[in-house]
Amino acid sequence: MTVEPRSLISSPDTQAALSRIDVRQDDMVALVEAWSRINSGSRNLDGLQAMEAEIVRAFAPLGAQVDFIELPDGEAVDDAGRVVPVKNGRTIRFTKRPTANRRVLMTGHTDTVFAVDHAFQAPRWLPDGRLNGPGVADMKGGIIVMLNALLAFEESPFADGVGWQVLLSPDEETGSLASAPLLVEHAKAAHIGMTYEPALADGTLAGARKGSGNYTLVVRGKAVHAGREFHNGRNAVVALATIIGELAALTDGRPELTVNPAVIKGGVATNVVPDLALCRFNVRLKEPGDATWFAEQVDRILAPWRAREGYAVALHGGINRPPKALSHANLMLMEAIRACGADLGLDINYVPTGGCCEGNNLAAAGLPNVDTLGVRGGMIHSADEFVIAESFAERAKLSALILMAFAKGDLDMVLKARTRA
């Protein structure tokens, strides 16, 4: 698969737009430092609101329509096995030229994995010149790349050729459970998708992605004194342990499918037969059909316990990220982006990954997308998260060039491939 050479990069207008990004490099780094100090963990609604205000202020020069979309409450299972409501923040939507003939959906998220009481709350410079901080790569840095690409694009004579929408969700790190319908709805109105998760430190982008599901299994038994009435009890911990073993054994039951029992709770004292135990687990799957197979296997494992006297078993959750398979149109888009990178002297490569993001949701809705167009960085979801500072201008220029190429018609083969699918 090849993409025809283009003359866009040699255009004085293109060079002028890209050079303006270089001028803003230091401002981008300063902004990510400031944003990193704002805790915006997924459940910190005050912090998410503070980030929202910062982002709206930063995006104001683009002159886009701004909307705030309230997300419905979600549900979670607490450590007592009860289903409790969970408040979500709201999605920010920026829209410009929504009726243009070529439309792009750009997505990202305002939340991080770091709760308000987490020890990791501020950025610092490492001796090797990398910036370590919460969200610097995932993905406050990515939002800044998106912003500066759009600023350069809007300052170029190509801008009228593309309509764009930006969706910034507050719940991506918890699975996009509330924002997923918005992603699907907006994906159907766009021609290509661009998402701003971080690239790997060496600049490699993600290609195909596994799907993912999060579950909580709650087992209830009967509590009695462990010495006086042991045989009258129903040990929920023992039942759960047996079930966990069978769930874990499903790993590799389909190619590259994995089951990860991760959090276990149960029991109150050693002299009490426990009447409650729960396990939180994750499944990763490569092919869409694997979800049906997994559901059938779980039902088979749980059925005997659901029928056993004295026990009650409840399973909560499901597959929230479908696998991201690469359609022909998606492969064409990836090659077009590779060509844009080559024009900038960047060697763009793709690797499959077991991780998930909004790109899974967009692809499932039929939208060709590349979902690691943010900064180069690494160690995300840990206190060692870092960003390579010089990648801000580098990656913003890549996205700006993609937008200009799209406007000029150099990505129309993606639209044609999608139409033929």
Q: pLDDT tens-digit profile of 159-203?
A: 999 999 999 999 999 999 999 999 999 999 999 999 999 999 999
- Of the chain, the percentage scoring pLDDT greater than 90 comes to 96
Residue 107: what pLDDT? 98
Q: Which helix (H) or strand (E) holds 412?
A: helix 412-420
Residue 421: what pLDDT? 64
**Model confidence band, residue 6 (pLDDT cutoffs 50, 70, 90):** low
Crossing angle of helices 236-248/290-307, nearest 10°?
160
Q: For the chain, what is the mean pLDDT? A: 96
pLDDT beyond 60 at 282:
yes
pLDDT beyond 50 at 3:
no
**Model confidence band, residue 1 (pLDDT cutoffs 50, 70, 90):** very low
**Model confidence band, residue 2 (pLDDT cutoffs 50, 70, 90):** very low
Alpha-carbon distances of 164 from 98, 106, 116, 329, rounded to whole Å = 6, 7, 33, 19
Length in residues, the chain: 421
Q: pLDDT tens-digit profile of 285-298?
A: 999 999 999 999 99
Map out the domains of the chain with their CATH numbers. 8-209+325-420 (3.40.630.10), 211-321 (3.30.70.360)
**Model confidence band, residue 5 (pLDDT cutoffs 50, 70, 90):** very low
Residue 11: what pLDDT? 92
* Residues 6+ positions from 114 with CB-CB distance below 8 Å: 39, 41, 120, 121, 134, 135
- Dihedral angle, C-alpha 360, 362, 366, 370, nearest 10 °: -80
CA atoms within 13 A on the CB side of 208: 11
Residue 418: what pLDDT? 85
Q: pLDDT tens-digit profile of 319-356?
A: 999 999 999 999 999 999 999 999 999 999 999 999 99
* Residues 6+ positions from 128 with CB-CB distance below 8 Å: none
Residue 7: what pLDDT? 74
Residue 31: what pLDDT? 98
> How far apart are the C-alpha atoms of 169 and 110, rounded to whole Å?
6
Q: Which helix (H) or strand (E) holds 194?
A: strand 192-195
Q: Is the pTM of this model over 0.85?
A: yes
**Model confidence band, residue 420 (pLDDT cutoffs 50, 70, 90):** confident
**Model confidence band, residue 359 (pLDDT cutoffs 50, 70, 90):** very high
Alpha-carbon distances of 176 from 172, 319, 360, 420, rounded to whole Å = 4, 11, 11, 30
pLDDT beyond 50 at 113:
yes
* Residues 6+ positions from 387 with CB-CB distance below 8 Å: 32, 130, 131, 133, 136, 137, 141, 198, 375, 376, 377
Other Cβ atoms less than 10 A from the Cβ of 412: the count is 15
**Model confidence band, residue 4 (pLDDT cutoffs 50, 70, 90):** very low
CA atoms within 13 A on the CB side of 227: 3
